[in-house]
Amino acid sequence: MSPFATRITLSSPDQTTAFAERLGARLQPGDVLLLEGSIGAGKTHFARSLIQSRMEYPEDVPSPTFTLVQMYEADTCEIWHADLYRLSMPDEVVELGLTEAFDNAICLVEWPDRLGDLTPANALRLAFTQGKDEDEREVALTWTCGKWAERLKGAFDD
């Protein structure tokens, strides 16, 4: 299946937070978001905002850079936030239990290129890049699974 794509511009961290909250409200167990971009591109800010929006009692959401995976109890399921930057082999992903989580949790994966052949075919890919100024971010969204077209409806509204 050929990929579908769209781009959005988020002019501030507050807009990034709002987009993460709107998209987060549409996610279900088994949904995987692949978060791409250079260091400082906004991946962790987006993930933190999305996770906190799904928690009954929002708590601190640290970057999983050194722990590799952080798990959170959300309103309807677990949310797994993974930072695979420090992994060198896709087999390490299996050891973390992440491939099992793809089936029954919401998974946010930073540095998804480390997944290799383990990348879920039904994932939504979000590529973050620096915009025209310091706070602006461009986000390119791509997907091949038809469920995302419906899920993304209304996620871009301010």
Q: Is residue 62 part of a domain?
A: yes
Q: Is residue 158 part of a domain?
A: no
Taking a C-beta distance cutoff of 8 angstroms, is the pair 109, 92 a contact? no
Please tell me the total count of domains within the chain.
1
CATH number, residue 81: 3.40.50.300
pLDDT at 66: 66
Q: Is residue 157 part of a domain?
A: no
pLDDT at 152: 86
Closest of 77, 84, 81, 33 to residue 60, by C-alpha = 81
pLDDT at 158: 58
pLDDT at 37: 95
pLDDT at 153: 82
The per-residue pLDDT of the chain, averaged, comes to 89
pLDDT at 155: 79
Q: Is residue 45 part of a domain?
A: yes
Q: Residue 92 class from Cβ within 10 Å (0-12 exposed, 13-18 middle, 19+ buried)?
A: middle
pLDDT at 133: 92
What residue numbers bound the domain in which 33 lies? Answer: 4-152
List residues bridging with 69 in a β-sheet.
82
End-to-end CA distance of the chain: 31
- Point out the residues of the chain with pLDDT beneath 70: 1-2, 66, 157-158
pLDDT at 60: 74
Can you give the pTM of this predicted structure? 0.91
Taking a C-beta distance cutoff of 8 angstroms, is the pair 47, 124 a contact? no
pLDDT at 80: 96
Cα distances (Å, whole numbers) of residue 154 to 18, 69, 145: 12, 29, 18
Q: Which residues contact 39 (CB under 8 A, 6 or more apart)?
A: none
